[in-house]
Amino acid sequence: MLYNLAHFLRAHCSWIWTIFELVNAWLFVLRYAHKLPVVIAGNIVPLTVERIEALAQFFKRQPEDAFIYFRPHAFDVKTLHSLVRNKAFLAYLVIDDNGGIIGYFFLRCFFWGKCYRGYMTDYAHRRQGINRLMGIEATKIVRHLHLRMFGSIAPNNVASMKSAQAVNDIRIIKVLRNGDYLVEYLPKS
């Protein structure tokens, strides 16, 4: 129900969604700021204002098929700036040896202890374990913060399901209106 409400507000009442995001970020910081991990894997860095332009270029480089299942937010510089300012939106980049971005993942967190994850690997670096690395690090972060982690996976996006199952136990909660599965990512048992 909350998932559907959030999508409705974002699509039809953007001013209410904006207020909600401000309040949520403030409450999230009050509850979790002291727990946020300072260091994660060496080649994973937080998204900062200085890296926004590079991330926008990363998204522009991706082929159209990369966005079939991945549309959590707009990919322009203005939107990325607003996401960086949102302290409940934890975004990270996977950096290669040359400093280039080869992966992006985020945790859209809520002060009541839940978050939604999303990720994208650069098309030229697919099937090299980047999704797995991002899944492992996202799981470490949410376990450290004691958050429950959710996401949506299209039933015909086999690669995403297999990648998720390599890192987490997956519990399908329900089928969404668009046919995607709403899933909870659980620590491997």
Distance CA 187, CA 168 (A): 5
- Residues paired with residue 25 on neighbouring β-strands, in sequence order: none
> With 80 as the cut, is the pLDDT of residue 66 above it?
no
State both tokens at 152: 């949506």
Using the Cα atoms of residue 73, residue 181, residue 145 and residue 66 in order, give the sign of their dihedral: negative
Which CATH number do you get for residue 47?
A: 3.40.630.30
pLDDT of residue 123: 83
Contacts of 13 (CB under 8 A, 6+ apart): none
Question: Which range has the worst mean pLDDT, 3-17, 82-96, 146-160?
Answer: 3-17
Range of the domain at 67: 2-187
Reported as a pLDDT band with limits 50, 70 and 90, residue 106 is very high
What is the total count of domains within the chain? Answer: 1
Binned at pLDDT 50, 70 and 90, residue 62 comes out as confident
> pLDDT for 16-48, tens place per residue?
878 888 898 999 999 988 887 665 677 899 999
Q: Are strands 101-110 and 114-121 parallel, antiparallel or unpaired?
A: antiparallel
